[in-house]
Structure 1
Amino acid sequence: MQDMTVLIVDDDTFITNLTTRMLKKLGIERVRSAKDGHDGLSEIGTDKPDVILCDLNMPGMDGLEFLRHLGEDKIGSGIILVSGEDKRVLQTATQLAKAHHLNVLGSLQKPIKPVPLKVLLDKFDEQQSASRRGPITLLTLEAVQEGLHNGRIDVFFQPKVSVPDRRLVGVEALVRWRSEDGRLIPPIAFLPVVEENGLIDDLTAQVFQIAVGAAADWVQSGLNIKVAVNFSVDSLTRFDLVDFLVGTARDKGIDPDKLILEVTESRIMEEVTTPWKS
């Protein structure tokens, strides 16, 4: 992380100075700043940063317009979106940025806090380490079909913690693939094959059933939290979707209200890039 270069794009000098101090406490010495999107593009043209912290509300060129330019220029920097607005605004901006194939590390609400900031910077560090390990080889269609049939799906649970009181409020189910020799294979190596060959319903159903089973075990042990499962927009077209979801939950003795469906961007966001061009 010490070798990282960070660009802060924010018109608020106080926030910029505060964030700069946080970054330097984390060991990041190369910190630059820009007061709006125009200045940000100039800074990037001079020397591309590793990570860009971008405020959404700025005079001149605002954050969304700035992100649109980054998408057109195919900037590979890690992007952290920042705003004092409602969390839903940040979520929408994040989806739009991902739709333009930007490397969005996540978003932060103002005032920025050191721990969530470090988490997102660590995420970029991990991406860099992964890229140095070499390219990912996609699984073959035959391997995917065999794995779905023989239960090679593994599900891990990422905790969701309330930052103010550090309370566990839920988990998100993350799918991985277990190879024959026991290695864990990341989604980037199998999800494209799953989606392109119409197998996403099978995969999602298995992940959902595993997640609901885990939730049932937690409830029995006294841990009453929400469980989020990613769903492709393609899976939402199933006529029996509601029956499947509610039936699976009830079979395991879980209140359906404890389950959250998070629609992934890979398909649906292909259709929402137009607003940035209008």
Structure 2
Amino acid sequence: MVYAARTKGNAAVEPGLYIGGSALIALVLVRQFVVLLDNRKLAQQMQRQEERYRTILHTASDAIITVDDSNAILTVNPATEDIFGFSRNELEGSSLDVLFPASLRGTGAGSLRQLAFSRAEAEGGKHLETNGLHRDGREIPLELSFAVSQQGTARLFTCFARDISERVEARKELTHQALHDALTELPNRVLLQDRLTQALLAATREASPIALLLMDLDRFKEVNDTFGHDSGDLLLKEVAGRLTRTLRGADTVARLGGDEFAILLPGSDRAGAVGIAGKIENAVSEALEVEGRFLDVGCSIGIAVYPDHGADPAVLLRHADVAMYVAKRGGWGHSVYEPQRDAYSPTRLTLASDLRQAIATDALLLHFQPQVNLQTRRVDYVEALARWNHPERGLLSPAEFIPLAEETGAIADLTAWVLRSSIRERAAWLENGIELGIAVNVSTRVLRDAEFPAQVVAICREAGMDPAGLAVEVTESSIMSNPEDAENVLVQLHDLGVKISIDDFGTGYSSLGRLKRLPVQQVKIDKSFVLEMGQGDRDALAIVTSVIDLGHNLGLEVVAEGVETAKVVETLRAMRCDAIQGFYVAKPLSTSELQLWMAGISVREHQLFGAAPTA
């Protein structure tokens, strides 16, 4: 290799590098080798990249589908075959339409192709959720995303499809859980509210009625407390099943919580709703078998109807709730909403105010119903019963104002008034030589008041009377609603010498174990059993017999309420019942009437029992 001046012809042009022939050939070969080496490396890189792409295509869990400008499928990966059920040979060359429902087919507006281009270009590949079609015809929930590419003048797009069946099912399950009760699988309050709102909108358009029923179970808490929450849950599930089977497919049965259910009846007016309520009562009243036990719980139903009782979901719910409370307090099974029974209506608020005023001004009345001992034929106790002669409404029955007192919190003041007035009357009788004990009814709310025994002491002290002449009557349900507090109050009253009596015995599920722990001295058989026994009901006869035997085995005195005929008196005497009370003996009497009645007791005794028993 030498340096020389390059020439053009014989003239020297410029100095440069002179390369001999063999060296030039070598240089060319080297350069060709380098190019060849570079091409080989590039080819290897491209091959590796292609292998990576192929691996991705074959192992991807998402379907990857490339589509040409005519909407024909160019390529698919194995996941496409798995998701859609078609083979590769069936898909490649076919129209993309075979994989999607009619609404997404073609290439026009709204088609999957147009969605692909608009989302890929304008929204950066934003995901789209829709349904695809499996080869067997079923729809598959999919999440789609798209990529657009250009090949010459043709625009292609690639569709990435992910099967989201599990996600959709999980979402449905979460939605179901949010809108349904976990125990019974019935709609919950949220779903009921939505359906009620929609039903009201439809009813407004169509000028049709709607009925809303609220129902709760009678004595459910006693079942829970006596047999345990598992039994209570099984009972609720059985009731839910009976409700569902009783109603139409268009109706909604919802569980609102606890033992409270709601029933939405589109198209039902007042008469229709009352008819359905009767069917529900019949369904629920049949004995419910729970873990081998047959339980009789019953129900109370409140009815509100659109448009008569409101046009707003919240108003209808509240009015149905008011009606349910009225039904429960009255023992009527079901009740249709009436404004005059609504504690929050102007009428009820006025009546509640009048009641408080009547208590404060001593404007109530006391009547007394005698209890006669069947062995001695003596009247040992009278039950004190409040009456209210309203200045505008006239004489109101306890059913009209006792529930109102409980709803408004006036029951404690009313009980104190009855207690004070009764003890004052007894003190006056004692001065006239009449020895009578007085029984006073005590509500659940009062029985929870730890200060009640001290109040009894104070009232007796005011009248100068020993508490031993007093009896308190409490129901099984009032004890079981809060057993610990009730037991504490009753023990204190017993220690004062107050007689403890369980009223309406046999209608609840009071635990015999708890009953034995309570300082109870007397049970009163619920009058419904005594009345039914008088009508020849054999089941009622068996119940009365059992209660008398149970009471005596526990060392308790047994009193039968609701005695109305001489035949019932003789039946009870044969059963060794201790005492009776009812219209056959005497109706509730005013103080003056009672004194006259007592004055004629010897004549009345002969009328009641015939000749005196011989020794």
Place the TM-score, normalised by the shorter chain, in its bin: 0.3 to 0.5
Who wins on radius of gyration, i.e. which is larger?
Answer: 2
Task: Return the structure number with greater relative CO, CA threshold 8 A, min gap 6.
Answer: 1
When normalised by structure 2's length, the TM-score is 0.23
When normalised by structure 1's length, the TM-score is 0.47
